[in-house]
Amino acid sequence: MKKRKIPERMCVGCREKKPKRDMVRIVRSPEGIVELDFTGKKSGRGAYICYNISCLEKAQKNKALEKGLQIIIQPEIWEELNEALEKAAKERNKMETNE
């Protein structure tokens, strides 16, 4: 049987390559809206980040996410991203512990 290649992406925070399924995509829509994309299919420019708040903080400090999305991100958007990522990380941990 042929071994399937697992797609990998690089985290904009910690700069580690990980399987695409272990990361969340942050997308800038054509209208300029920045949001988390759990499906990985929304249209727009995207960047990937680990389910880890420290990676988001690193990306903010180094302006790596802003460079990746080619947009200046306002402070209130950072707060929304932080809250949404925190919530998603908790849900993901619950699912992993139940398996």
pLDDT band, residue 98 (cuts 50/70/90): confident
In a domain, 2, yes or no: no
What CATH number corresponds to the domain at position 86? 3.30.1230.10
Q: Indicate whether 56 pLDDT > 80.
A: yes
Q: Which domain holds residue 64?
A: 8-98
In a domain, 90, yes or no: yes
The Cβ of residue 69 has, within 10 Å, a number of other Cβ atoms equal to 19
In tens, the pLDDT along 59-88 reads 999 999 999 999 999 999 999 999 999 999
State residue 98 phi and psi, 5-degree precision: -75, -20
In a domain, 3, yes or no: no
pLDDT for the residue 49: 95
**Count of structural domains, the chain:** 1
Q: What percentage of the chain carries pLDDT values higher than 90?
A: 78
